[in-house]
Amino acid sequence: MSMIRYLIRRLLYLIPLFFGILIIVFVATRLAGNPVQLMTIQNPHITSEFRQRLTEYYGLDKPVYYQFFLFIWQMLQGNLGNSYAIRGGIAVTSLIDDYAWLTFQLQLLALLFSIIIAIPIGIISAKKQYSKLDVTVTTTSLLGTCIPVFYMGIITIIIFAYFLGWFPAGGANAILQERYLFGSLELDRIWHMVLPTGVLTFALLAPIVLLVRSSMLEVLRQDYILAARASGLSERSVVYKHALRNAIIPVVTWVGIYFGSMLAGAPITETVFNWPGVGRLFVEATTKLDFPVIMGITVFITIMTLIANLVTDLMYGYIDPRIRLE
Residues making contact with other proteins (CB under 8 A): 17, 20-21, 24-25, 28-29, 31-33, 142-143, 145-151, 154-155, 157-158, 162, 169, 257, 260-261, 263-265, 267-268, 271-272, 282-283, 286-287, 289, 294, 297-298, 301-302, 305-306, 309
Nearer to other proteins, 4 or 31 (CB): 31
Quote the least distance from Cβ 124 to other proteins, whole Å: 21
Nearer to other proteins, 246 or 312 (CB): 312
Using DSSP's 3-state secondary structure scheme, residue 253 falls into helix
Nearer to other proteins, 158 or 227 (CB): 158
| Measured distance CA(282)–CA(301) in Å, rounded | 11
Phi, psi (5° rounding) for residue 113? Answer: -55, -45
Nearer to other proteins, 110 or 244 (CB): 110
DSSP state of 158: I
| Measured distance CA(307)–CA(312) in Å, rounded | 8
DSSP state of 277: S
Phi, psi (5° rounding) for residue 52? Answer: -60, -45
DSSP state of 172: S
- Share of the chain residues as helix, strand and coil, in percent rounded to the nearest 5: 75, 0, 20
Instruction: Answer yes or no: are the C-beta atoms of 276 and 203 closer than 8 Å.
Output: no
Quote the least distance from Cβ 33 to other proteins, whole Å: 4
Nearer to other proteins, 96 or 228 (CB): 96
Which among 128, 59, 100 has a CA at the least distance from the CA of 296? 100
Quote the least distance from Cβ 29 to other proteins, whole Å: 6
Contacts of 322 (CB under 8 A, 6+ apart): none
Quote the least distance from Cβ 1 to other proteins, whole Å: 26
Quote the least distance from Cβ 300 to other proteins, whole Å: 10
Quote the least distance from Cβ 180 to other proteins, whole Å: 22
Nearer to other proteins, 150 or 240 (CB): 150
H or E segment and range at residue 267: helix 249-272
Instruction: Answer yes or no: are the C-beta atoms of 277 and 266 closer than 8 Å.
Output: yes
Nearer to other proteins, 52 or 145 (CB): 145
Quote the least distance from Cβ 284 to other proteins, whole Å: 10
